[in-house]
Amino acid sequence: MRRLNNEKRNITNNNRVHSRRLHTVVVLLLLMATTVTFSGCSEDVYQYPVVGRVIDHYFNKPNQDNTAVGLPAVTAEVDKAIEQGEDHMIVLAASVTDKDIANIAMNMSGYWGIPELYEIIDKYDDIDGIDGTVYKVRYTLKQSNNYYVYNNLVNGKDIPEGEDQAKQIAGSLQGIISAIGLSNDKTNFENARALHDWLVNNIDYDETIDAASTSNGSFGALIGRKTMCQGYAEAMKLLINVATDMDCEIMIGEGDSGTGNYEPHAWNQMKIDGNWYQFDATFDDPVKNVDGIFNHYYFGQSDAVMKLDHNWEAGYFNTCSTDDFIYYRFQGLFADDYASFKTKIQSMLASKAPVMEVAIKGFEVTQSNMQFVFNDDPSIHSINWSSTGKSDIRVVSIAPIR
């Protein structure tokens, strides 16, 4: 959009001044009768009088208080409007590019929904206290299944006609919550553990589905029981949001599941006892391990450990800087020498645990030094086991076969 020329000229000839005033009145009347319709957008929303745009440009300029500076701040404003149920919104955005504005959905989890269309209404290059161009951008917004399900079950709002998938999820969710055992009567750790275990035991990772479809979301995870990483992450957040008061968010970035190649990925972070931790149920799913053994390696991790095989833009998410491997620390399943490891496994053998897990540090576990398992329980004729991890701490999982 071209900026209007606001240059003032001094004219001494009275006749010319009078003529110019008449000309100005005629032009303003024509402008007031003129509208601009933006292509690709609904006319009742996007018809915008040119004279209104001119007045808006010069009398409603952005300032430091109403401008979102930087892509994370702009993204947060758009996401908040979607979460609040808006069908369109206007945002003042600085320290971003035209490409950032066009591709803003790529920086959002899409949990509540996505922006579908955008239009740059105006640009400002002379705003005090703000470097560079400030864009005035209008987005049209589309809410997701998660938005409708959450507001139906938590806030009592009806799900609109035509949102059939949201209705299916809402109809099934209470039974799933009961099966998992989620409740505010339990600790945050207990709820997180129950949810994690239900997801990896009841949902199959299916890399053949269309990543852009709703199958790669809470619908695929909770109704079809087959999904990809986005589905695991959305299901975890939706179940936590509906059943508990816990804080749970979706992280987006890249992950390396063991191939050495980083690919687009989604996972979660949750707040437990005042601290934020990362959770990746997709990477803990049995398909990522051997012989169907799942563990809790990616349950309650710190940023430092997750960065060994995950990448993300830190400005968008909470910092997780406290203890790592909280599943094993909270459960007393952390061993820093072989004797401690052996004692913990023997205790689980005595209780006939189907899968035994211990986080170890400072030593290696091999097939030969696990022979004690057979000596302690003669009914065991073989074991499936795995050792998981890229840090100096590894998780050893053992599944005895009797």
Query: pLDDT class for 42, splitting at 50, 70, 90?
Result: very low
Sheet strand arrangement including 393-401: 334-335, 356-361, 393-401, 382-388
* pTM of the predicted model as reported, rounded to 2 decimal places: 0.82
Is a pLDDT exceeding 90 seen at residue 296? yes
CATH 3.10.620 residue ranges in the chain? 147-331
Is a pLDDT exceeding 90 seen at residue 153? yes
Query: pLDDT class for 23, splitting at 50, 70, 90?
Result: very low
Is a pLDDT exceeding 80 seen at residue 36? no
Whole-number pLDDT of residue 277:
96
CATH 3.30.1370 residue ranges in the chain? 332-402
Is a pLDDT exceeding 50 seen at residue 17? no
Is a pLDDT exceeding 60 seen at residue 291? no
Domain 147-331 has CATH 1.20.120: no
Q: Kind of pairing, strands 382-388 and 334-335?
A: unpaired
pLDDT single digits (tens) 182-222: 999 999 999 999 999 999 999 999 988 887 788 889 999 99
Task: State residue 392 phi and psi, 5-degree precision.
Answer: -75, -5
Q: With contact defined as beta carbons under 8 Å apart, do 244 and 184 qualify?
A: yes
Mean per-residue pLDDT, 246-270: 94
Domain 68-146 has CATH 3.30.110: yes
Q: Is 367 helix (H, G, I), strand (E, B) or coil?
A: coil
Burial of 345 (0-12, 13-18, 19+ CB in 10 A): buried
Mean pLDDT over all residues of the chain? 85
Whole-number pLDDT of residue 52:
57
Is a pLDDT exceeding 80 seen at residue 275? yes
Among 55-59, 104-108, 128-132, 143-147, the range of highest mean pLDDT: 143-147
Q: Kind of pairing, strands 35-37 and 275-279?
A: unpaired
Whole-number pLDDT of residue 29:
42
Q: Is 141 helix (H, G, I), strand (E, B) or coil?
A: strand
Mean per-residue pLDDT, 234-253: 96
Task: State residue 151 phi and psi, 5-degree precision.
Answer: -70, -25
Mean per-residue pLDDT, 228-247: 96
CATH 3.30.110 residue ranges in the chain? 68-146
Q: Per residue in 240-267, is it b (16+ CB within 10 Å) or e — as a string?
A: bbbbbebebbbbbbebbbeeeeeeebbb
Is a pLDDT exceeding 60 seen at residue 351? yes
Whole-number pLDDT of residue 212:
79
Is a pLDDT exceeding 60 seen at residue 264? yes
β-strand partners of 396? 358, 387
Q: With contact defined as beta carbons under 8 Å apart, do 321 and 239 qualify?
A: no
> Whole-angstrom Cα distance, residue 50 to residue 38?
12
Domain 332-402 has CATH 3.30.1370: yes
Is a pLDDT exceeding 60 seen at residue 51? no
Q: How far is CA 260 from CA 31, 55, 85, 101, 257, in A?
A: 60, 56, 40, 32, 8
| Residue that the structure tokens 């390396």 belong to | 256
| Residue that the structure tokens 């795995």 belong to | 386
Mean per-residue pLDDT, 235-258: 95
Residue 37 CB neighbour total at 10 angstroms: 11
Mean per-residue pLDDT, 320-327: 90
Task: State residue 133 phi and psi, 5-degree precision.
Answer: -85, 140
Whole-number pLDDT of residue 219:
96
